[in-house]
Amino acid sequence: MPKYEEIANIIRQRIKQGRYPANTLLPNQTDLVQEFDASRMTIKKAITILTMEGLVLSRRGAGTKVLDHSFWNKSTAPADQYRGMSRDLADIGKTLSSKIITFEVTFPTPEIKERLMLADQQPVYKIIRLRIIDGVNSVLEHTYMPVSLVPGLTDDVLAQSIYTYLKENLHLTFAGAFRNIQADKADEYDQQYLDCAPTDPVLEVEQVVYLDNGQPIEYSRSRNRYDRRGYTFLDVKNT
């Protein structure tokens, strides 16, 4: 782990423990340079990480202020494809279980082939999972993954966390994801599995997840019961 990440972790911990209280200033960067025996560029990089997380805010000439983020900390956990839904939910004390509706190998439609950047004739997994949060049917996930990239996928893996398997067993790392969020009417599938009325809205999160070599590994549509899941995130400017 790079030095700037370690430093960021230490400072983050101090903020959460209250050693650096909200609405006070962090020690200035030259002091941090001394404490951590690092160059100022490295300290700056650590602070940039915390800035991106919404924990602090730096202003030229005025220091780096610890922000009070308690108000949005209470609400929904931010969705994060790199950790998997189960860990996100565990953070806020909720439990997740899964029910496999469909698990098969098929050939992709032209649309899915394009999104996964596949050559002809490459098979994909088609997976439909019902995600049950605290005992309530909440999300219906339609997922497509190239078979060639994900060997050895089994029911057991699907019942737990796919992403844990990708990371820990296949040692894959991710570059990022492209997402589109929209509202939709509940279709018959949603009504059947999410226990919702024909007039209930659904929040659909469509995403393509990329490996660190640029190859898409997943195309999915997650249909969320409107009263069970929202999508929460921070959009920080610049660096």
Residue 183, exposed/middle/buried by CB under 10 A (0-12, 13-18, 19+)? Answer: exposed
Each as own residue / partner, the long-range contacts of residues 152-161 (CB below 8 Å, 24 or more positions apart, any chain) are 153/125, 155/100, 155/103, 158/98, 158/100, 158/103, 158/127, 158/129, 159/98, 159/100, 160/86, 160/98, 161/84, 161/85, 161/86, 161/87
Instruction: By CB under 8 A, tell whether 113 contacts its own copies.
Output: no
- Measured from the CB atom, the residue of 134 and 184 that comes closer to its own copies is 184
> Site size for its own copies, by CB under 8 A?
51
Q: Which two tokens stand for residue 63?
A: 């220091």
Q: Which two tokens stand for residue 108?
A: 């992709």
32, 96, 149, 203: residue in contact with its own copies (rule CB under 8 A): 203
Instruction: By CB under 8 A, tell whether 82 contacts its own copies.
Output: yes
Smallest distance from the beta carbon of 24 to DNA, in angstroms?
12
- Measured from the CB atom, the residue of 103 and 174 that comes closer to its own copies is 174
Q: What is the DSSP letter of 72?
A: H
Interaction site with DNA (CB under 7 A): 2-4, 25-26, 28-30, 37-42, 44-45, 47, 58-64, 239
Interaction site with its own copies (CB under 8 A): 41, 45, 48-49, 54, 57, 59, 62, 65, 67, 71-72, 75-76, 81-82, 114-115, 174-185, 198-203, 212-214, 224, 226, 229-237, 239
